[in-house]
């Protein structure tokens, strides 16, 4: 049985490599906000209040492009609705926590933290202090996100756009799913999701980001049925 | 005014994070649903990966000889064999940079 501290450290170590993508993306995020003409305080406030990379950029781009607040808020909601799926997966491992602790830990769940902690949970179902892994992974991502978006706000124009640092985002997620490409069922689900996301890319409110996972999960259900 | 909009967006985002963890009893989900949920990472992340590679900043498809495709293939190969996250990210970025800056 691992101690709370050990599990917390494992959470930190599990997401630490993703900082090679999170930090550049945070800098880009902060810099884009300033470039689009928003006040530094507002751009930074988003990192605390919304705390979600892609949705922050989309929000600012929509508002600066003249979209209404309603459209900007709806888009953020649609983009971040994938967290309902993460929550459904994590709930199994967090169900013993008190209601207040569940409310608090939910704030820290983001993509990479979910992905890495979920991998740990699947292998260590019987540990008692599982949620410390999520605290370690989510807390690390939170701190680095705050520092890097702040750095982007301050450094802004010093970051050359030609570097294409946004490309680090798909790479970090490739690193997360790449070991599953040896399983045929996962490959089918991944390709379904990926092709759907390209097909529905122009759907309103960036809804491809939730439409394609739903289609992929339906295919997963079919695959499960065929496997039996 | 923008701050107010940000706060609303933040509250909605928080509810997406919190609802399934704190408000929904997991026993309501049947065994079938739980089995399907095991596919969530494979069903969600390609929706971030594919557009991040194949669609450019202007929302149009890239050419098939775009350096991003090469970078992604290198990252997949390095990631698969090294099982190392840092190697995956850096190999993808560097191979992409080599193509755009040296070719």
Taking only the tens place, the pLDDT of each residue in B59-81 is: 899 988 899 999 999 999 999 99
- Minimum Cα–Cα distance from A197: chain B residue: B47
For residue B55, report the phi and psi dihedrals to the nearest 5 degrees: -120, 130
Tell me if chain A has a CB within 8 Å of the CB of B60. Answer: no
Contacts of A44 (CB under 8 A, 6+ apart): A30, A149, A150, A153
pLDDT of residue B58: 86
Tell me if chain A has a CB within 8 Å of the CB of B95. Answer: no
Q: Is A92 exposed, middle or buried (0-12, 13-18, 19+ CB in 10 A)?
A: middle
User: Running DSSP on this structure, what letter comes out for residue B63?
Assistant: P
Taking only the tens place, the pLDDT of each residue in A80-107 is: 999 999 999 999 999 999 999 999 999 9
Rg, Å, chain A Cα set: 18
For the question of an ipTM over 0.90, the answer is yes
Tell me if chain A has a CB within 8 Å of the CB of B103. Answer: no
Domain ranges of chain B: 1-38, 40-103
Higher pLDDT, B73 or B25: B73
Supply A163's token pair: 């570097």
Average pLDDT score over residue span B17-46: 92
Closest-CA distance of chain A to residue B65, Å: 16
3-state secondary structure of A81: coil
> Among residues A39, A42, A36, A28, which one has the least CA distance to residue A62?
A36
- How much of chain A exceeds pLDDT 70, in percent? 100
| Contact state of B88 with A45 under an 8 Å Cβ cutoff | no
| Contact state of B89 with A172 under an 8 Å Cβ cutoff | yes
Unique residue bearing structure tokens 């802004």 = A156
Q: Are A33 and A45 in contact (CB under 8 A)?
A: no
Average pLDDT score over residue span A73-86: 97
| Contact state of B12 with A85 under an 8 Å Cβ cutoff | no
| Contact state of A42 with B6 under an 8 Å Cβ cutoff | yes
Residue B43 has pLDDT above 80, yes or no: yes
pTM: 0.95
Supply B80's token pair: 């698969």
Q: Are A101 and B34 in contact (CB under 8 A)?
A: no
Supply A124's token pair: 């260590």
Domain ranges of chain A: 4-169, 183-228
Q: Rounded distance, CA A31 to CA A26, Å?
A: 9
pLDDT of residue B17: 97
Closest-CA distance of chain B to residue A154, Å: 20
Residue B57 has pLDDT above 90, yes or no: no
Q: Rounded distance, CA A79 to CA A205, Å?
A: 8
């Amino acid at each position: 049985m691992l101690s709370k501290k050990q599990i917390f450290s494992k959470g930190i170590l599990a997401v630490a490599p993703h900082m090679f993508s999170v930090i550049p993306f945070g800098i880009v995020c902060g810099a884009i906000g300033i470039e689009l003409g928003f006040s530094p305080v507002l751009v930074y406030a988003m990192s605390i209040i919304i705390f979600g990379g892609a949705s922050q950029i989309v929000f600012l781009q929509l508002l600066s492009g003249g979209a209404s607040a309603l459209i900007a808020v709806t888009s953020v909601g649609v983009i971040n609705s994938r967290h309902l799926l993460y929550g459904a997966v994590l709930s199994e491992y967090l169900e013993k926590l008190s209601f207040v602790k569940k409310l608090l830990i939910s704030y820290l769940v983001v993509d990479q933290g979910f992905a890495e902690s979920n991998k740990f949970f699947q292998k260590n179902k019987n540990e008692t202090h599982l949620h410390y892994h999520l605290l370690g992974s989510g807390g690390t991502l939170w701190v680095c996100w705050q520092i890097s978006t702040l750095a982007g706000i301050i450094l802004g124009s010093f970051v050359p756009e030609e570097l294409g640092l946004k490309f680090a985002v798909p790479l970090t997620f490739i690193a997360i799913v790449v070991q599953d490409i040896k399983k045929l069922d996962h490959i089918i689900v991944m390709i379904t999701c990926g092709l759907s996301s390209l097909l529905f890319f122009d759907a309103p409110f960036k809804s491809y980001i939730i439409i394609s996972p739903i289609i992929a999960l339906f295919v997963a259900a079919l695959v499960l049925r065929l496997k039996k | 005014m923008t701050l107010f909009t940000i706060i609303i967006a933040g509250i909605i985002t928080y509810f997406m994070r919190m609802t399934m963890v704190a408000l929904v009893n997991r026993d309501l989900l049947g065994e079938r649903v739980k089995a399907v949920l095991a596919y969530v990472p494979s069903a969600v992340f390609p929706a971030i990966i594919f557009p991040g590679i194949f669609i450019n900043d202007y929302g149009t498809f890239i050419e098939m000889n775009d350096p991003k495709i090469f970078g992604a293939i290198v990252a997949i190969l390095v990631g698969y064999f090294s099982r190392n996250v840092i190697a995956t990210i850096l190999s993808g970025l560097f191979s992409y940079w080599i193509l755009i800056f040296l070719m």
